[in-house]
Amino acid sequence: MHCSDDLRNPGTGLARRLRVNSTIVLIAIGLALLYLGWLATLWRFQERIVFQPPAGVPASQVPARRMSYRASDDTELFAYIVGDCPPGTTVVLAFHGNADISRWLVPWAITLAQATGSCVVLPEYRGYDGLAGSPSYESSKRDALAALELVRTTLGAPRGDTIYFGHSLGTAVATELATVETPRALVLQSPFSSARDMARRMVIPGVTVLWGIMSRVHFDTTTCVRTLACPVWVTHGDADMVIPVRMGRDVFAAAVHKGELLIVRGAGHNNLPEVGGREYWSWLRRAIVGEEARPTTLSAPAGTQSAP
């Protein structure tokens, strides 16, 4: 009968077990440090994840009036004004998404102004399209309030006749503004339910558990719409790979006062007007003009490209 090396030389077996245990401990420490590094990076750069100003955008002529104004902390801002804006005109205050800029929305705004007779205001966030400053959750609130002040004082829009519109990140900005001053309607295109829910999509264990400690970004559209006294209109593409369509449905379901939900078949995150076509523009016109919402959820067929 052959004895093992461990029985012949107990010291060798002990040394081997110690090496294995040390290796396991080192791997565990390495994984823990890697995880903490991920959390630290997320904490440090969370504003850069949420706010992504496009870099190196060349200057271009814009068929809209540019108007400058300042936020409460004296940061200089601007907005593009599309359409005629005499007193009494419905004003649509439209906030764009995180990797967008306001002048890229001008063609959309021109179509909207022509279809509804409204005045469309496209405010820019600090840090975007040449503006100084760094965008953040707190600054987005200041910038939105400054844009609303522009609408009130410079354009003379009455409080009861302003529509807030938002796309993607802009839906959260518009919704938070609605909790400060209620619009006639809140119109949300591709909304996310909350920043916490979006963080879950990063698949980093523990992020949502530690969210209250880590996060400086507190957007929570689902909670906000439960408090609003205005109708909430939502549209979303069912092929959206950035913000899943279930979040748009959740936001609409949470709204106390519902406008109309439009789910566009085959539409992604940035092509709802193109894919939704006439159905999209009809939905948007009903929201802006104040026509009665249809009682059922709509689903526009892909490929209808025409606007009204």
The reported pLDDT for the residue numbered 73 is: 96
The reported pLDDT for the residue numbered 24 is: 75
Contacts of 11 (CB under 8 A, 6+ apart): none
* Phi-psi category of residue 73: left, alpha or beta, with phi > 0 → left and psi -120 to 50 → alpha: alpha
Query: Residue 187 in 3-state DSSP?
Result: strand
Q: Which ranges of the chain does DSSP label H, i.e. alpha helix?
A: 5-8, 10-50, 106-116, 137-149, 169-180, 195-200, 211-214, 221-225, 245-254, 272-289
Residue 27 placed within a domain: yes
The reported pLDDT for the residue numbered 296 is: 54
* Domain shared by 17 and 163, yes or no: no
* Domain shared by 155 and 289, yes or no: yes
Residue 5 placed within a domain: yes
Encoded tokens for 81: 């004004």
* Domain shared by 159 and 237, yes or no: yes
* Domain shared by 17 and 155, yes or no: no
The reported pLDDT for the residue numbered 37 is: 58
User: Count of domains in the chain?
Assistant: 2
The reported pLDDT for the residue numbered 304 is: 46
* Domain shared by 5 and 66, yes or no: no
Q: Which domain holds residue 8?
A: 1-50
Written as tens digits, the pLDDT of the chain (308 aa) is 455 555 556 566 666 766 666 777 677 676 655 655 555 566 555 677 778 899 888 988 999 999 999 999 999 999 999 998 888 889 999 999 999 999 999 999 999 999 999 999 999 999 999 999 999 999 999 999 999 999 999 998 887 789 999 999 999 999 999 999 999 999 999 999 998 887 776 555 555 665 566 666 789 999 999 999 999 999 999 999 999 999 999 999 999 999 999 999 999 999 999 999 999 999 999 999 987 777 655 665 544 444 55
Residue 307 placed within a domain: no
Encoded tokens for 248: 């748009």
CA 171, CA 268: separation in Å to the nearest integer? 16
* Domain shared by 31 and 86, yes or no: no
The reported pLDDT for the residue numbered 293 is: 74
CA of 120: how far to CAs of 84, 242, 264, 291, in Å? Answer: 9, 26, 24, 18
Residue 308 placed within a domain: no
* Domain shared by 22 and 73, yes or no: no
Residue 305 placed within a domain: no
Residue 19 placed within a domain: yes
Q: Where residue 213 sits, what CATH number does that domain have?
A: 3.40.50.1820
Q: How many CA atoms within 13 Å lie on the side-chain side of 260? A: 22
* Domain shared by 283 and 196, yes or no: yes
Residue 21 placed within a domain: yes
Which H or E run contains 299? strand 298-300
* Domain shared by 100 and 236, yes or no: yes
CA 148, CA 29: separation in Å to the nearest integer? 51
* Domain shared by 129 and 263, yes or no: yes
Residue 57 placed within a domain: no
Looking at 28, 50, 72, which one is the last position of a domain?
A: 50
The pTM assigned to this predicted structure is: 0.83
Question: Exposed, middle or buried: residue 167 (CB in 10 Å: 0-12, 13-18, 19+)?
Answer: buried
* Domain shared by 43 and 180, yes or no: no
* Phi-psi category of residue 64: left, alpha or beta, with phi > 0 → left and psi -120 to 50 → alpha: beta
Question: Hunting for tokens 């359409």 — which residue is that?
Answer: 83
For residue 33, the tally of other CB atoms under 10 A from its CB is: 10
* Domain shared by 120 and 212, yes or no: yes
